[in-house]
Amino acid sequence: MEIAILGGTGDIGEGLALRWARDTDHTLVVGSRDAEKAEDSAADYEAVLADHGRSVEIDGATNAEATARADVVVAAVPAYHLTDTVEAVADDLGDAVLVSPAVGMKRDEDGFHYNRPGVGSVTELAANAAPEGTPVVGAFHNLAAGRLSDLDAALDWDTIVVGDDGDAKATVSDLAEGIEGLRALDGGPVANAAEVEGLTPLLINVARHNDGLHDLGVRFN
């Protein structure tokens, strides 16, 4: 399977690229608005993987070029760039599954808070921006990017997957479980995305206020 990671030069994009490249045989392409930046990041990821004994080729391209090649497109961009990013690649999505890991947050003196969009959730923003017929799945919302990108760190996390298309949700769940130490759980339809996204600021606040709890994730038992 070919996976395009739009905004793959950022923290969550880096972590997903490194983990999939190490743990699976999927083809990866890092997307960015700037092709040279994407190519540089892809080369950096290849070097990290080589240091961990894995020789993998990762391509870099513009977001549109990456999207046109992919079976699954992960929009690993901040929530405030999500709609523009999806609309910019809409004509290139074809039959691809679109995945949104973005979470809207705001910060004040008390901590981080979920910034719920008017449509209900950030995943629903992606669904509204995508062309009709493009399956949209929310996943990877609650993963700590620092730990995800540290290949020396073991994971023991769940990721909740939401979507209205059962086949697309199954595809993304399989991709998630290809990452060692990550378990996918079905969270129901896209309408449930806000509850999942809202866990992320909670995890950040708990990590900030408790020693030894840096880079928290979620595990359901």
Q: Would residue 161 count as lying in a domain?
A: yes
Q: Domain containing 78 — which CATH number?
A: 3.40.50.720
Phi, psi (rounded to 5 degrees) for 193: -65, -35
Q: Would residue 194 count as lying in a domain?
A: yes
pLDDT tens sequence across 204-216: 999 999 998 889 9
Beta-bridge partners for 29: 4, 59
Range of the domain at 66: 2-209
Q: Would residue 214 count as lying in a domain?
A: no
Q: Are 66 and 6 in contact (CB under 8 A)?
A: yes
Q: What is the DSSP letter of 57?
A: -
Q: Would residue 140 count as lying in a domain?
A: yes
Q: Would residue 216 count as lying in a domain?
A: no
pLDDT tens sequence across 130-182: 999 999 999 999 999 999 999 999 999 999 999 999 999 999 999 999 999 99
* Residue 103, pLDDT score: 97
Is the model's pLDDT at 218 over the cut of 90?
A: yes
At residue 190, what is the residue type?
V
Q: Would residue 217 count as lying in a domain?
A: no
Tally the domains of the chain. Answer: 1
Q: Would residue 118 count as lying in a domain?
A: yes
Q: Would residue 219 count as lying in a domain?
A: no
* Residue 212, pLDDT score: 87
